[in-house]
Amino acid sequence: MKPIIKIKNLALKLMISVGIVLFVSIFIWSHFTIKFQEKNLIDKKISDIDKFCNTVLKFTWFAMLHNPNRDMQEILKSMSVYNEIETIRIFNCQGQIKFSNIAEELGSIAKKSAVACKTCHETDTPVMKKDIKDRVRIFKSDQGDLLLGIMNPILNEPSCSTAQCHYHPKEIKKLGALDVVVSLNDVRNEISFARKMSAWTAIYLFIILAITLGFSIFRLITDPIKKLINETDLIGKGYYNNQTNGISQQDEIGKLSIAIHDMGNKIESKQTELNRQKDLYQNLFDQVPCTITVQNRDYQLLEFNQVFAKKFKPEYGDFCYSAYKDLNKKCNDCPVERTFADGKSHFSEESGINKDGSIAHWVVKTAPLKDEKGNIVAALEMSIDISRRKKLEEIVKSSERKYHAIFESIPNPVFILDIDSYKIITCNNSALTVYDYKKNELKNEPFSLLFPGDEEFAKFIQNFDKPFHERLINHKKTRERIYVNIWVSPVQFTEQKVLLVTVVDITLSVETEHQLIQAGKMATLGEMATGVAHELNQPLSVIKTASSFISRKINKNEKIDKDILNTLSQEIAIHVDRAAKITNHMRLFGRKSTFSREVISVNETIKRAFDIFSQQLKLREIEVIWTLDKNLPEIIADPVRLEQVFINLLINARDAIVTRFENNEEDKIKRITIVTLFKKGVVTVKISDTGTGIPEADINKIFEPFFTTKKVGEGTGLGLSISYGIIKESGADISVKNNPDGGVTFTLGFPANPGGLNE
């Protein structure tokens, strides 16, 4: 049941509730106080009447003994008048009124049911009650007055049984009763006055307490609460630094004020942080480089960020599919619909037409927005325009196709290898053509498949840090040997670091070079022919002389001394060996050979090359100075080709010295100096001459093919070019410079064989 009147004022509620409690308390207090006073007055009245009755009995005792009829009546009248007694009567044992201040009652017999008689005659057998409370009766008269009656028994005494006036046997204990009735109007008046005083006192106390309570409530509760309400209103409006004025209480209200103020500070701090985060997220929402919308279940726009607003200029309530996709209905595969259906985030890639007619592509991500009960109330859709990326993808795909076409059409073999396992990931068509393989036969196969053996591949791997590898030997599928140059470079390939290996087939070049080297050898042999003839003339002359001597002795039948014959045979053998050595050397030098690197001694190779020229240099009076390091480490090179280099350098030195002396510079020394030394891991060979030298303008061209400083017909211009190629092929360096006193010095630097270093 709803209350009829709703009280919204706290002070009024407190005053009413406290007032009711106060009123009831005062009422109860007044009621019990009046009752207590009433009881005390009545008890006092009873006590007074009881004393009066005893007095009457004492006065009447003597009169009843001597002259009861005359004295008793007078005594009772006098006492009733003097003591304002309403009724005073004496009953005998039969209930007859013997004496009374009311003459009309004399002689009448009272009924047992009468008010006065009920005290003792409640039962059939009368009971004499001694307790005054049991003998008192309060009743109203016919006129409505409140009366108090006390019935006192008149007991039989010894004097009564021997009295002169009458006789009462001893066995009778009660002779009669004295009934005294007095008015209680004075008590009623006092009680009425007391009630009025209590009422006025209660009203006075109620008013005073109500005023005090109201003032206290207003001062201690209502006013502070109004101030607290005002402060909370200000806090609610965003004004947090408001210290409540006038509340200096140290009670709960004061503590509440402090708590509200602290709450305001904390709310301000939290609100500041929330505002910061709100601004942050609002800025993120508005400034992110993508479109963000919030949609309801009907796909209508509830919210959208600035990017979306600037790009599509929508209105709140527009359908998403018409706002930026220019559609009349939702997409067939709508991620927002799926989000509303299952409450999960969804992703999709969509295409559409912008309002300007251009084709657009989006990546769409959705997420559900739920209320506090967990119900999905909206969906957040974030779209990233990937139109440019799509264009770039097309460009990349086109570029990929283009570069793939370039990759496949490169005339040289190109391999892509795994950087860790050296397995072939892919290769171009030229690799298949050169090596006679099919692509599936090479894919995922080790690159060592193309090498003639594991040792060659191991050497290749050891020098893998070098970008260029020259003159390596590979095998085709048919095991045919080919010569290749290889370039290796690490690259990033489809998120994987790989090795890009470019191969150049130089087999034809190597064969041409071999032919050129062979031609150079033949040219060298041609230039050496005169010197070789001189070298062979001496042993042939010795053999001719010895054979002629033996022939003459035989023709003359002369005996040849055994010692002479032994000497001749030894000389012939020595010179035959020398001639054989020269011819074998020439034959080996002129033989066509393949490139073969092996461990050799530089000193021995120079000496072999010099053996062919020793007689030629003697004939031309050219002095040779040798400064060879006996502890020279060995090197790795092709001995025949390196010998060809030294022969070319010695021929050039010889010709330069001869040319200089032909130019009337006979005062100069004819000298070739050969020096070998080892320093910092490099075996160095220096061949110096005292010839014509090289013009400074031509010194940088000296190793170019077909370049020569000799006269026409005296040189091919290939010697130094071939020598340069052989030196580089051996991993060595060659340089030339003019000497201060004329002539040039060729310096060759070879890396020493690590296994042959002498500590």
Residue 423 belongs to domain with CATH number: 3.30.450.20
**Boundary residue ending a domain (152, 167, 190):** 190
- Give the Cβ contact number of residue 148 at 10 Å: 20
495: region left, alpha or beta (phi > 0 left; psi from -120 to 50 alpha): left
Tokens 């005023």 belong to 211
Asked if 156 and 69 sit in the same domain, the reply is yes
CB 452 within 8 A of CB 446: no
Sign of CA dihedral 549, 555, 558, 560: positive
Blockwise average pLDDT, block size 10, the chain, 759 residues: 61 76 80 80 78 74 60 68 72 76 74 60 57 75 78 70 55 73 79 80 81 79 79 76 64 78 81 80 74 88 85 85 78 86 86 73 87 88 83 84 85 90 90 90 91 82 77 87 88 82 84 64 59 65 76 79 78 72 62 69 89 76 91 88 84 86 73 92 93 84 69 59 78 90 91 65
Asked if 158 and 264 sit in the same domain, the reply is no
**CB neighbours of 76 closer than 8 A, spacing ≥ 6?**
56, 60, 88, 89, 90, 99, 100, 101
The answer to the question of residue 539 being in a domain is yes
**CB-count exposure of residue 12 (10 Å: 0-12, 13-18, 19+):** middle
431/502 Cα distance (integer angstroms): 9
| DSSP structural state of residue 246 | S
The answer to the question of residue 309 being in a domain is yes
Helix (H) or strand (E) holding 492: strand 481-493
Q: How many domains does the chain have?
A: 5
Structure tokens at 181: 């009735």
Structure tokens at 134: 């049991």
What is the domain-level CATH number for residue 738?
A: 3.30.565.10
Residue 450: domain span = 410-503
99/68 Cα distance (integer angstroms): 9
Tokens 């942050």 belong to 280
User: Which among 8, 18, 21 has a CA at the least distance from the CA of 217?
Assistant: 18
The answer to the question of residue 203 being in a domain is no
- Terminal-to-terminal C-alpha distance of the chain: 117
pLDDT on residue 758: 45
Helix (H) or strand (E) holding 468: strand 468-475
Q: Where are the beta strands (DSSP E) in 608-732?
A: 623-627, 635-637, 671-679, 682-689
pLDDT on residue 116: 57
pLDDT on residue 130: 58
Asked if 82 and 48 sit in the same domain, the reply is yes
**Boundary residue ending a domain (321, 355, 389):** 389
| Bridge partner list, 316 | none
How many whole angstroms from its chain centre is CA 639? 67
One-letter amino acid of 492? Q
The answer to the question of residue 227 being in a domain is no
User: Which among 582, 249, 724 has a CA at the least distance from the CA of 259?
Assistant: 249
Asked if 536 and 648 sit in the same domain, the reply is yes
Sign of CA dihedral 274, 278, 280, 284: positive
Upper half-sphere CA count for residue 77 (Cβ side, 13 Å): 9
The answer to the question of residue 381 being in a domain is yes
The answer to the question of residue 210 being in a domain is no
What angle separates helix 185-216 from helix 10-66, to the nearest 10 degrees?
160
Asked if 161 and 273 sit in the same domain, the reply is no
146/183 Cα distance (integer angstroms): 6
Structure tokens at 423: 């397995």
Q: How far is CA 723 from CA 604, 659, 704, in A?
A: 18, 22, 11
The answer to the question of residue 436 being in a domain is yes
pTM of the predicted protein model: 0.39
Asked if 299 and 154 sit in the same domain, the reply is no
One-letter amino acid of 53? C
CB 434 within 8 A of CB 482: yes
Asked if 722 and 597 sit in the same domain, the reply is yes
CB 149 within 8 A of CB 135: no
Asked if 653 and 588 sit in the same domain, the reply is yes
pLDDT on residue 544: 76
Sign of CA dihedral 188, 190, 191, 192: positive
Asked if 727 and 596 sit in the same domain, the reply is yes
440/265 Cα distance (integer angstroms): 76
**CB neighbours of 153 closer than 8 A, spacing ≥ 6?**
120, 128, 174, 176, 177, 178
Q: What are phi and psi of 465, to 5 degrees?
A: -70, -15
| DSSP structural state of residue 298 | T
One-letter amino acid of 168? H
51/675 Cα distance (integer angstroms): 172
Asked if 598 and 464 sit in the same domain, the reply is no
**Boundary residue ending a domain (389, 424, 457):** 389
- In the chain, what's the furthest Cα-to-Cα distance? 244
CB 638 within 8 A of CB 589: no
pLDDT on residue 254: 77
Asked if 162 and 186 sit in the same domain, the reply is yes
How many whole angstroms from its chain centre is CA 152? 108
350/360 Cα distance (integer angstroms): 8
Q: What are phi and psi of 17, to 5 degrees?
A: -65, -45
617/691 Cα distance (integer angstroms): 14
CB 336 within 8 A of CB 320: yes
Query: Please, what is the Cα angle at 259 between 258 and 265, to 5 degrees?
Result: 90
Asked if 374 and 262 sit in the same domain, the reply is no
The answer to the question of residue 140 being in a domain is yes
